[in-house]
Amino acid sequence: MTGARRLAVALSGGVDSAVSCRLIQDEGHEVVALFMELGQGDVLRQRARAMADFLGVDFQVVDLRDPFRHQVIDYFCQSYARGQTPNPCVVCNPAIKCGLLLDMALEMGCEALVTGHYVRQEERGGVACLRCGLDPVKDQSYFLCGLRQDQLRHLRFPLGGLLKSQVFALAREYDLPVAGGESQDVCFLEEGSPGDFLARELASPPLPGDIVDSQGRVLGRHQGIHCYTIGQRRGLGISAPKPLYVVAIRATENQVVVGPDAELYRAELRLLEPANWLAGEGPGLPWQGRVKIRYRHQEGAKATLTRDDQGLLVRFAQPQRAITPGQFAVFYQDDLLLGGGEIVGAKSPSP
Which residues belong to the active site? 92, 187
Long-range contacts of 199-208 (CB under 8 A, 24+ apart): 201/73, 201/77, 202/77, 202/81, 202/226, 205/81, 206/81, 206/83, 206/251, 206/254, 207/254
For residue 36, give the 3-state DSSP assignment.
Answer: strand
Q: How distant is the alpha carbon of residue 87 from its chain centre?
A: 5
Residue 280: CA count within 13 A, CB half-sphere? 8
Q: Is 189 exposed, middle or buried (0-12, 13-18, 19+ CB in 10 A)?
A: middle
Question: Which of 109, 110, 151, 102 has its CA nearest to residue 130?
Answer: 151
Please tell me the distance from the alpha carbon of residue 325 to that of residue 250, in angstroms, as a whole number. Answer: 11
Length, in residues, of the chain: 351
Whether residue 222 contacts residue 211, with contact meaning beta carbons closer than 8 Å, is answered with yes
Nearest-10 Cα torsion for 215, 221, 226, 231: -50
Is the bond preceding 286 in cis, omega lying within 30 degrees of 0? yes
